[in-house]
Amino acid sequence: MAENHLWQDLGLPGRVELNALMQTRFTALKTKNAGDMKWKKFFYRQLCEQAEVLICKSPSCANCCDYSVCFGPET
């Protein structure tokens, strides 16, 4: 619930280590995040879909103006 990237909030060295953790411990979720969305964005998107509350500006990530917010490098 903190404001940084999840790997930072978890005290990990980087996203690579978080991805490895997800692959090892939460394989189904890692597989589901095939597009390598930022993890917090991915979790919120999952919760929104389960609740059938769509807050995204587009039904498709590929066509969304917020694509760079949800994907891409984390520094």
C-beta of 67: minimal distance to ligand SF4 in Å? 5
Q: How far is the CB of 49 from ligand SF4 (least distance, A)?
A: 10
Instruction: Kindly state whether residue 12 participates in binding ligand SF4, applying the rule CB under 6 A.
Output: no
43 binds ligand SF4 (CB under 6 A): no
Considering only residues 47-66, where is the footprint of ligand SF4 by CB under 6 A?
56-58, 61, 64, 66
Total residue count of the chain as it appears in this document: 75
Cα–Cα distance list, 55 to 12, 31, 34, 52 (Å): 29, 23, 21, 10
